[in-house]
Amino acid sequence: MKVTVFGIGYVGLVQAAVLAEVGHDVACIDIDQNKVDALKQGIIPIYEPGLTPLVTANYEAKRLDFTTDAKAGIEHGDVVFIAVGTPPDEDGSADLQYVLKVAETIATHMTRRTVVINKSTVPVGTADKVKEQISTCLRDLQKDVAFSVVSNPEFLKEGAAVNDCMRPDRIILGTDCDYAEKRLRELYYPFNRNNDRVIKMDIRSAELTKYAANCMLATKISFMNEMANLAEYFGADIENVRKGIGSDPRIGYQFIYPGCGYGGSCFPKDVQALIRSATGIGYEASILKAVEDVNSRQKEKLFAYMMTHFAGDLQGKTIAVWGLSFKPNTDDMREASSRVLLENLWEQGAIVQAFDPEAMEEAQRIYGHREDLKLVGTKEAAIVGADALAICTEWQSFRAPDFTHLEATLAHKVVFDGRNLFEPEFVADYGLAYYGIGRGLSIKGRH
Protein backbone atom coordinates (compact mmCIF):
# COMPACT_ATOMS: atom_id res chain seq x y z
CA MET A 1 0.00 0.00 0.00
CA LYS A 2 1.24 3.53 -0.68
CA VAL A 3 1.63 5.40 2.58
CA THR A 4 2.64 8.95 3.43
CA VAL A 5 3.75 10.00 6.88
CA PHE A 6 3.78 13.72 7.59
CA GLY A 7 6.18 14.61 10.41
CA ILE A 8 9.35 12.59 11.02
CA GLY A 9 9.40 12.92 14.78
CA TYR A 10 9.48 10.04 17.18
CA VAL A 11 6.05 8.61 16.40
CA GLY A 12 6.15 9.25 12.65
CA LEU A 13 9.56 7.72 12.11
CA VAL A 14 8.91 4.55 14.10
CA GLN A 15 5.53 4.03 12.43
CA ALA A 16 6.95 4.68 8.96
CA ALA A 17 9.87 2.29 9.42
CA VAL A 18 7.67 -0.50 10.76
CA LEU A 19 5.13 -0.11 7.93
CA ALA A 20 7.98 -0.21 5.38
CA GLU A 21 9.43 -3.29 7.07
CA VAL A 22 6.28 -5.33 6.32
CA GLY A 23 6.33 -4.21 2.68
CA HIS A 24 4.34 -0.99 2.43
CA ASP A 25 5.76 1.76 0.23
CA VAL A 26 6.30 4.69 2.61
CA ALA A 27 7.17 8.32 1.91
CA CYS A 28 7.99 10.55 4.88
CA ILE A 29 7.64 14.32 4.68
CA ASP A 30 9.21 16.84 7.01
CA ILE A 31 9.88 20.55 6.70
CA ASP A 32 13.37 20.15 8.20
CA GLN A 33 15.84 19.69 5.33
CA ASN A 34 18.73 18.81 7.68
CA LYS A 35 16.70 16.03 9.26
CA VAL A 36 15.77 14.63 5.85
CA ASP A 37 19.40 14.74 4.63
CA ALA A 38 20.63 13.07 7.82
CA LEU A 39 18.05 10.28 7.61
CA LYS A 40 19.07 9.53 4.03
CA GLN A 41 22.59 8.98 5.34
CA GLY A 42 21.31 6.67 8.08
CA ILE A 43 21.70 9.24 10.86
CA ILE A 44 18.70 8.86 13.17
CA PRO A 45 17.85 11.90 15.32
CA ILE A 46 16.67 9.89 18.34
CA TYR A 47 17.97 6.99 20.39
CA GLU A 48 15.58 4.07 20.12
CA PRO A 49 16.71 0.44 20.25
CA GLY A 50 16.40 -1.30 16.87
CA LEU A 51 15.36 1.79 14.95
CA THR A 52 18.58 2.63 13.10
CA PRO A 53 18.97 -0.75 11.31
CA LEU A 54 15.25 -0.77 10.49
CA VAL A 55 15.36 2.69 8.91
CA THR A 56 18.61 2.03 7.02
CA ALA A 57 17.55 -1.36 5.64
CA ASN A 58 14.18 -0.09 4.43
CA TYR A 59 15.66 3.07 2.93
CA GLU A 60 18.18 0.94 1.02
CA ALA A 61 15.39 -1.41 -0.10
CA LYS A 62 13.56 1.68 -1.40
CA ARG A 63 10.46 1.01 0.67
CA LEU A 64 11.11 4.07 2.80
CA ASP A 65 11.99 7.53 1.56
CA PHE A 66 12.36 11.01 3.03
CA THR A 67 11.53 14.31 1.44
CA THR A 68 10.71 17.94 2.13
CA ASP A 69 8.62 18.06 -1.04
CA ALA A 70 5.06 18.07 0.32
CA LYS A 71 3.48 17.88 -3.13
CA ALA A 72 5.34 14.75 -4.18
CA GLY A 73 4.91 13.21 -0.73
CA ILE A 74 1.16 13.71 -0.59
CA GLU A 75 0.62 12.58 -4.17
CA HIS A 76 2.38 9.35 -3.20
CA GLY A 77 -0.01 8.12 -0.50
CA ASP A 78 -3.45 6.50 -0.52
CA VAL A 79 -3.34 7.06 3.20
CA VAL A 80 -1.63 10.05 4.81
CA PHE A 81 -0.61 10.03 8.46
CA ILE A 82 -0.47 13.28 10.40
CA ALA A 83 2.28 12.68 12.97
CA VAL A 84 3.46 16.20 13.76
CA GLY A 85 3.92 17.51 17.30
CA THR A 86 1.18 18.93 19.50
CA PRO A 87 3.27 20.79 22.07
CA PRO A 88 1.53 22.26 25.09
CA ASP A 89 0.85 25.99 24.78
CA GLU A 90 1.16 28.38 27.75
CA ASP A 91 -1.90 27.04 29.57
CA GLY A 92 -1.15 23.33 28.98
CA SER A 93 -3.63 22.80 26.11
CA ALA A 94 -2.37 20.93 23.06
CA ASP A 95 -1.31 23.39 20.37
CA LEU A 96 -2.96 22.29 17.12
CA GLN A 97 -1.38 24.76 14.73
CA TYR A 98 0.98 22.19 13.16
CA VAL A 99 -1.75 19.58 12.74
CA LEU A 100 -4.07 22.08 11.06
CA LYS A 101 -1.27 23.39 8.84
CA VAL A 102 -0.63 19.84 7.62
CA ALA A 103 -4.37 19.40 6.96
CA GLU A 104 -4.20 22.47 4.73
CA THR A 105 -1.14 21.14 2.90
CA ILE A 106 -2.87 17.79 2.35
CA ALA A 107 -5.91 19.54 0.87
CA THR A 108 -3.69 21.60 -1.40
CA HIS A 109 -1.83 18.64 -2.89
CA MET A 110 -4.13 15.64 -2.80
CA THR A 111 -5.22 14.44 -6.19
CA ARG A 112 -7.27 11.32 -5.43
CA ARG A 113 -9.41 9.83 -2.69
CA THR A 114 -7.31 10.01 0.49
CA VAL A 115 -7.63 8.65 4.00
CA VAL A 116 -6.12 11.13 6.47
CA ILE A 117 -5.00 9.47 9.70
CA ASN A 118 -4.53 11.46 12.91
CA LYS A 119 -1.64 9.79 14.71
CA SER A 120 -0.62 12.77 16.83
CA THR A 121 -2.12 12.87 20.32
CA VAL A 122 -4.85 15.44 19.92
CA PRO A 123 -7.78 16.65 22.02
CA VAL A 124 -11.20 15.14 21.47
CA GLY A 125 -12.83 16.92 18.55
CA THR A 126 -9.64 17.47 16.56
CA ALA A 127 -10.60 15.06 13.77
CA ASP A 128 -13.66 17.25 13.19
CA LYS A 129 -11.41 20.31 13.01
CA VAL A 130 -9.08 18.57 10.54
CA LYS A 131 -12.11 17.56 8.44
CA GLU A 132 -13.37 21.13 8.50
CA GLN A 133 -9.96 22.52 7.57
CA ILE A 134 -9.58 20.18 4.59
CA SER A 135 -13.15 20.84 3.38
CA THR A 136 -12.66 24.61 3.58
CA CYS A 137 -9.38 24.46 1.67
CA LEU A 138 -10.85 22.19 -1.00
CA ARG A 139 -13.75 24.60 -1.40
CA ASP A 140 -11.40 27.57 -1.69
CA LEU A 141 -9.33 25.73 -4.25
CA GLN A 142 -12.47 24.57 -6.05
CA LYS A 143 -11.25 20.99 -5.86
CA ASP A 144 -13.56 18.01 -5.62
CA VAL A 145 -11.63 15.16 -4.03
CA ALA A 146 -13.08 12.63 -1.57
CA PHE A 147 -11.38 12.15 1.78
CA SER A 148 -12.01 10.78 5.26
CA VAL A 149 -10.34 11.52 8.58
CA VAL A 150 -9.54 8.68 10.97
CA SER A 151 -8.31 8.80 14.55
CA ASN A 152 -5.66 6.13 15.07
CA PRO A 153 -3.68 7.00 18.22
CA GLU A 154 -0.29 5.50 19.01
CA PHE A 155 0.65 3.72 22.22
CA LEU A 156 4.43 3.53 21.92
CA LYS A 157 6.71 3.36 24.93
CA GLU A 158 10.06 5.02 24.48
CA GLY A 159 12.81 2.42 24.53
CA ALA A 160 10.39 -0.26 23.29
CA ALA A 161 8.76 1.66 20.46
CA VAL A 162 9.79 -0.60 17.58
CA ASN A 163 8.52 -3.68 19.36
CA ASP A 164 5.32 -1.94 20.49
CA CYS A 165 4.66 -0.91 16.91
CA MET A 166 5.50 -4.34 15.45
CA ARG A 167 3.42 -6.20 18.04
CA PRO A 168 0.69 -3.79 19.11
CA ASP A 169 -1.67 -4.89 21.88
CA ARG A 170 -4.41 -2.86 20.23
CA ILE A 171 -4.98 -0.88 17.06
CA ILE A 172 -7.61 1.76 17.70
CA LEU A 173 -9.52 2.77 14.58
CA GLY A 174 -11.83 5.70 15.11
CA THR A 175 -13.86 6.22 11.96
CA ASP A 176 -17.38 6.65 10.62
CA CYS A 177 -16.43 5.70 7.07
CA ASP A 178 -16.50 2.12 5.70
CA TYR A 179 -13.97 2.88 2.97
CA ALA A 180 -11.46 4.29 5.47
CA GLU A 181 -11.99 1.34 7.83
CA LYS A 182 -11.28 -1.12 5.02
CA ARG A 183 -8.09 0.69 3.99
CA LEU A 184 -6.82 0.78 7.56
CA ARG A 185 -7.61 -2.87 8.17
CA GLU A 186 -5.59 -3.65 5.03
CA LEU A 187 -2.74 -1.37 6.16
CA TYR A 188 -2.50 -3.02 9.58
CA TYR A 189 -3.26 -6.58 8.46
CA PRO A 190 0.38 -7.72 8.81
CA PHE A 191 0.34 -6.72 12.49
CA ASN A 192 -2.91 -8.47 13.16
CA ARG A 193 -2.33 -12.06 12.13
CA ASN A 194 -3.10 -14.29 15.12
CA ASN A 195 -5.40 -12.12 17.12
CA ASP A 196 -7.72 -9.38 16.06
CA ARG A 197 -5.96 -6.36 17.46
CA VAL A 198 -8.27 -3.87 15.76
CA ILE A 199 -10.79 -2.13 17.97
CA LYS A 200 -13.10 -0.08 15.80
CA MET A 201 -15.06 2.76 17.29
CA ASP A 202 -16.37 6.26 16.65
CA ILE A 203 -13.82 9.03 16.18
CA ARG A 204 -14.31 10.88 19.48
CA SER A 205 -14.05 7.71 21.53
CA ALA A 206 -10.77 6.88 19.78
CA GLU A 207 -9.42 10.33 20.57
CA LEU A 208 -10.42 10.00 24.22
CA THR A 209 -9.03 6.45 24.45
CA LYS A 210 -5.50 7.75 24.01
CA TYR A 211 -5.83 10.28 26.83
CA ALA A 212 -7.69 7.84 29.07
CA ALA A 213 -4.91 5.24 28.67
CA ASN A 214 -2.10 7.62 29.59
CA CYS A 215 -4.06 9.31 32.36
CA MET A 216 -4.96 5.92 33.88
CA LEU A 217 -1.28 4.89 33.93
CA ALA A 218 -0.23 8.24 35.41
CA THR A 219 -2.96 7.83 38.02
CA LYS A 220 -1.63 4.41 39.03
CA ILE A 221 1.82 5.92 39.57
CA SER A 222 0.64 8.95 41.52
CA PHE A 223 -1.65 6.78 43.63
CA MET A 224 1.29 4.57 44.51
CA ASN A 225 3.46 7.57 45.28
CA GLU A 226 0.80 8.83 47.64
CA MET A 227 0.74 5.44 49.39
CA ALA A 228 4.54 5.61 49.58
CA ASN A 229 4.36 8.97 51.28
CA LEU A 230 1.86 7.59 53.77
CA ALA A 231 4.05 4.52 54.33
CA GLU A 232 6.90 6.79 55.39
CA TYR A 233 4.83 8.43 58.07
CA PHE A 234 3.27 5.18 59.25
CA GLY A 235 6.64 3.39 59.35
CA ALA A 236 5.50 0.87 56.72
CA ASP A 237 7.49 -0.34 53.72
CA ILE A 238 5.82 0.46 50.39
CA GLU A 239 7.69 -2.38 48.66
CA ASN A 240 5.82 -4.88 50.84
CA VAL A 241 2.57 -3.03 50.22
CA ARG A 242 3.24 -3.05 46.47
CA LYS A 243 3.71 -6.81 46.42
CA GLY A 244 0.68 -7.23 48.66
CA ILE A 245 -1.69 -5.32 46.42
CA GLY A 246 -0.14 -6.34 43.07
CA SER A 247 -0.95 -9.98 43.79
CA ASP A 248 -4.63 -9.12 43.35
CA PRO A 249 -5.14 -9.68 39.61
CA ARG A 250 -7.63 -6.81 39.53
CA ILE A 251 -4.79 -4.49 40.53
CA GLY A 252 -1.79 -6.23 38.97
CA TYR A 253 1.92 -5.52 39.33
CA GLN A 254 2.33 -3.18 36.40
CA PHE A 255 2.79 0.55 36.86
CA ILE A 256 2.60 0.52 40.63
CA TYR A 257 6.27 1.24 41.21
CA PRO A 258 6.68 4.22 43.50
CA GLY A 259 9.52 6.57 42.71
CA CYS A 260 10.65 10.15 42.30
CA GLY A 261 7.84 10.89 39.85
CA TYR A 262 6.94 10.23 36.23
CA GLY A 263 8.33 12.27 33.36
CA GLY A 264 8.63 11.98 29.59
CA SER A 265 6.89 13.51 26.65
CA CYS A 266 3.49 11.90 27.21
CA PHE A 267 2.20 11.58 30.76
CA PRO A 268 2.79 15.15 31.97
CA LYS A 269 1.58 16.66 28.70
CA ASP A 270 -1.48 14.44 28.29
CA VAL A 271 -2.66 14.76 31.89
CA GLN A 272 -2.41 18.54 31.60
CA ALA A 273 -4.10 18.64 28.21
CA LEU A 274 -7.07 16.61 29.43
CA ILE A 275 -7.41 18.85 32.49
CA ARG A 276 -7.50 21.86 30.13
CA SER A 277 -9.99 20.26 27.74
CA ALA A 278 -12.20 19.40 30.70
CA THR A 279 -12.01 22.97 32.01
CA GLY A 280 -12.96 24.15 28.52
CA ILE A 281 -16.28 22.31 28.74
CA GLY A 282 -16.89 23.39 32.32
CA TYR A 283 -15.86 20.13 34.01
CA GLU A 284 -13.35 20.00 36.82
CA ALA A 285 -11.12 16.93 36.40
CA SER A 286 -10.38 16.52 40.13
CA ILE A 287 -8.61 13.18 39.91
CA LEU A 288 -6.32 14.35 37.12
CA LYS A 289 -5.46 17.53 38.99
CA ALA A 290 -4.50 15.45 42.01
CA VAL A 291 -2.42 13.12 39.81
CA GLU A 292 -0.47 16.07 38.51
CA ASP A 293 -0.12 17.66 41.92
CA VAL A 294 1.20 14.48 43.57
CA ASN A 295 3.67 14.04 40.72
CA SER A 296 5.11 17.57 40.98
CA ARG A 297 5.60 17.09 44.70
CA GLN A 298 7.16 13.67 44.13
CA LYS A 299 9.82 15.16 41.90
CA GLU A 300 10.99 17.23 44.89
CA LYS A 301 11.33 14.15 47.06
CA LEU A 302 15.03 13.32 46.73
CA PHE A 303 15.96 16.92 47.27
CA ALA A 304 13.77 17.07 50.39
CA TYR A 305 15.55 13.99 51.80
CA MET A 306 18.90 15.65 51.13
CA MET A 307 17.87 18.86 52.84
CA THR A 308 16.83 16.82 55.88
CA HIS A 309 19.98 14.72 55.87
CA PHE A 310 22.34 17.66 55.47
CA ALA A 311 20.29 19.92 57.78
CA GLY A 312 19.66 22.37 54.98
CA ASP A 313 23.33 22.87 54.13
CA LEU A 314 24.18 21.70 50.63
CA GLN A 315 26.47 24.61 49.81
CA GLY A 316 29.67 23.27 48.20
CA LYS A 317 28.59 19.61 48.57
CA THR A 318 29.23 17.35 45.57
CA ILE A 319 26.30 15.09 44.76
CA ALA A 320 26.82 12.13 42.44
CA VAL A 321 23.74 11.56 40.26
CA TRP A 322 23.14 8.26 38.48
CA GLY A 323 20.53 8.53 35.75
CA LEU A 324 19.35 11.67 33.97
CA SER A 325 16.84 10.33 31.42
CA PHE A 326 13.17 10.18 32.47
CA LYS A 327 13.34 6.38 32.31
CA PRO A 328 15.86 3.71 31.20
CA ASN A 329 16.70 2.91 27.56
CA THR A 330 16.21 6.41 26.27
CA ASP A 331 18.22 9.62 26.11
CA ASP A 332 15.04 11.66 26.60
CA MET A 333 15.16 14.11 29.51
CA ARG A 334 11.83 15.81 28.89
CA GLU A 335 10.12 16.44 32.25
CA ALA A 336 12.67 14.10 33.90
CA SER A 337 12.77 14.03 37.70
CA SER A 338 16.55 14.43 37.51
CA ARG A 339 16.08 17.97 36.23
CA VAL A 340 14.12 19.05 39.27
CA LEU A 341 16.82 17.58 41.52
CA LEU A 342 19.70 19.19 39.61
CA GLU A 343 18.07 22.59 39.56
CA ASN A 344 17.24 22.44 43.28
CA LEU A 345 20.79 21.40 44.11
CA TRP A 346 22.30 24.22 42.09
CA GLU A 347 20.05 26.70 43.83
CA GLN A 348 21.58 25.54 47.14
CA GLY A 349 25.14 25.89 45.81
CA ALA A 350 25.81 22.16 45.40
CA ILE A 351 27.89 20.62 42.63
CA VAL A 352 26.43 17.81 40.50
CA GLN A 353 28.63 15.04 39.17
CA ALA A 354 26.41 13.00 36.86
CA PHE A 355 26.44 9.90 34.71
CA ASP A 356 23.78 8.46 32.43
CA PRO A 357 24.33 5.60 29.95
CA GLU A 358 22.60 7.52 27.10
CA ALA A 359 21.55 11.03 28.10
CA MET A 360 24.93 12.75 28.53
CA GLU A 361 24.75 14.70 25.27
CA GLU A 362 21.18 15.66 25.99
CA ALA A 363 22.16 16.97 29.44
CA GLN A 364 24.96 18.97 27.84
CA ARG A 365 22.54 20.37 25.27
CA ILE A 366 20.00 21.39 27.94
CA TYR A 367 22.40 22.85 30.51
CA GLY A 368 25.45 23.81 28.46
CA HIS A 369 28.79 24.17 30.21
CA ARG A 370 28.54 25.24 33.80
CA GLU A 371 30.94 25.02 36.74
CA ASP A 372 28.50 23.15 38.95
CA LEU A 373 27.74 20.36 36.44
CA LYS A 374 30.33 17.69 35.79
CA LEU A 375 29.25 15.08 33.29
CA VAL A 376 31.47 12.03 33.68
CA GLY A 377 31.90 8.88 31.59
CA THR A 378 31.08 6.11 34.10
CA LYS A 379 29.00 5.56 37.20
CA GLU A 380 32.21 4.91 39.14
CA ALA A 381 33.67 8.26 38.07
CA ALA A 382 30.52 10.00 39.30
CA ILE A 383 31.15 9.02 42.92
CA VAL A 384 34.81 10.06 43.03
CA GLY A 385 35.08 13.01 45.43
CA ALA A 386 31.30 13.01 46.02
CA ASP A 387 29.57 13.46 49.36
CA ALA A 388 26.43 11.50 48.49
CA LEU A 389 24.84 9.47 45.70
CA ALA A 390 21.37 10.08 44.22
CA ILE A 391 19.68 7.71 41.76
CA CYS A 392 17.04 9.16 39.45
CA THR A 393 16.64 6.48 36.76
CA GLU A 394 16.39 2.71 37.08
CA TRP A 395 19.00 1.73 34.47
CA GLN A 396 19.82 -2.00 34.81
CA SER A 397 23.52 -1.23 35.24
CA PHE A 398 22.79 0.64 38.51
CA ARG A 399 21.07 -2.29 40.21
CA ALA A 400 24.07 -4.05 41.74
CA PRO A 401 26.72 -1.51 42.68
CA ASP A 402 29.85 -2.29 44.69
CA PHE A 403 28.53 -1.12 48.07
CA THR A 404 31.92 -1.55 49.78
CA HIS A 405 33.42 0.83 47.25
CA LEU A 406 30.49 3.25 47.64
CA GLU A 407 30.97 3.27 51.40
CA ALA A 408 34.69 3.85 51.05
CA THR A 409 34.27 6.62 48.46
CA LEU A 410 31.27 8.74 49.45
CA ALA A 411 32.41 11.29 52.03
CA HIS A 412 29.01 11.32 53.77
CA LYS A 413 28.23 7.64 53.16
CA VAL A 414 24.64 8.16 52.06
CA VAL A 415 22.53 6.98 49.13
CA PHE A 416 19.27 8.65 47.99
CA ASP A 417 17.47 6.11 45.83
CA GLY A 418 14.63 7.59 43.79
CA ARG A 419 13.72 4.24 42.19
CA ASN A 420 13.87 1.80 45.11
CA LEU A 421 16.59 -0.31 43.51
CA PHE A 422 17.99 -1.75 46.72
CA GLU A 423 16.92 -3.50 49.87
CA PRO A 424 17.51 -0.97 52.70
CA GLU A 425 18.82 -3.64 55.06
CA PHE A 426 21.48 -4.82 52.59
CA VAL A 427 22.68 -1.27 52.08
CA ALA A 428 22.75 -0.66 55.82
CA ASP A 429 24.98 -3.73 56.25
CA TYR A 430 27.67 -1.88 54.33
CA GLY A 431 27.51 1.07 56.69
CA LEU A 432 25.68 3.36 54.27
CA ALA A 433 22.71 5.54 55.18
CA TYR A 434 19.87 4.90 52.74
CA TYR A 435 16.78 6.81 51.68
CA GLY A 436 14.30 5.02 49.43
CA ILE A 437 10.82 6.15 48.41
CA GLY A 438 8.17 5.13 50.90
CA ARG A 439 10.39 2.75 52.79
CA GLY A 440 9.39 3.52 56.33
CA LEU A 441 12.09 1.22 57.65
CA SER A 442 14.83 3.04 55.82
CA ILE A 443 13.97 6.42 57.23
CA LYS A 444 12.92 5.35 60.72
CA GLY A 445 13.84 7.93 63.27
CA ARG A 446 14.42 10.64 60.72
CA HIS A 447 11.02 12.25 61.04
Nearer to ligand UDX, 259 or 440 (CB): 259
Nearer to ligand UDX, 133 or 214 (CB): 214
Nearer to ligand UDX, 17 or 266 (CB): 266
Is 344 within 8 Å of 312 (Cβ atoms)? no
Q: C-alpha angle 129/180/138, rounded to 5°?
A: 45
Count the residues of the shown chain that bind ligand UDX, applying the rule CB under 6 A.
Answer: 19
Return the range that interacts with ligand UDX (CB under 6 A); candidates 34-42, 75-83, 149-157, 357-365. 149-157
Catalytic site includes residue 266: yes
Binder of ligand UDX out of 59, 257, 403, 416 (CB under 6 A): 257
**Within a 13 Å sphere around the CA of 311, how many CA atoms are in the beta-carbon half?**
1
- How far is residue 408's CA from residue 432's CA, in Å, rounded to a whole number? 10
- How far is residue 251's CA from residue 411's CA, in Å, rounded to a whole number? 42
Binder of ligand UDX out of 81, 262, 355, 395 (CB under 6 A): 262
Binder of ligand UDX out of 255, 285, 307, 384 (CB under 6 A): 255
- How far is residue 68's CA from residue 31's CA, in Å, rounded to a whole number? 5
Establish whether 45 is an annotated binding residue.
no
Nearest approach in angstroms of CB 306 to ligand UDX is 20
Binder of ligand UDX out of 299, 317, 327, 339 (CB under 6 A): 327
User: How are the residues of the chain apportioned to helix, strand and coil, as percentages rounded to the nearest 5?
Assistant: 45, 15, 40
Establish whether 157 is an annotated binding residue.
yes
Nearest approach in angstroms of CB 258 to ligand UDX is 7
- How far is residue 433's CA from residue 415's CA, in Å, rounded to a whole number? 6
For 147, the 3-state DSSP assignment is: strand
Q: What residues contact 240, with CB distance under 8 A and at least 6 apart?
A: none
**Is 221 near ligand UDX (CB under 6 A)?**
yes
**Is 256 near ligand UDX (CB under 6 A)?**
yes
Binder of ligand UDX out of 259, 424, 438, 440 (CB under 6 A): 259
Residue of 279, 277, 268, 217 whose CA lies nearest to 96 = 277
**Is 264 near ligand UDX (CB under 6 A)?**
yes
**What is the contact surface with ligand UDX in residues (CB under 6 A)?**
154-158, 214, 217, 221, 255-257, 259, 262-264, 266-267, 326-327
Catalogue the active-site residues.
Answer: 266
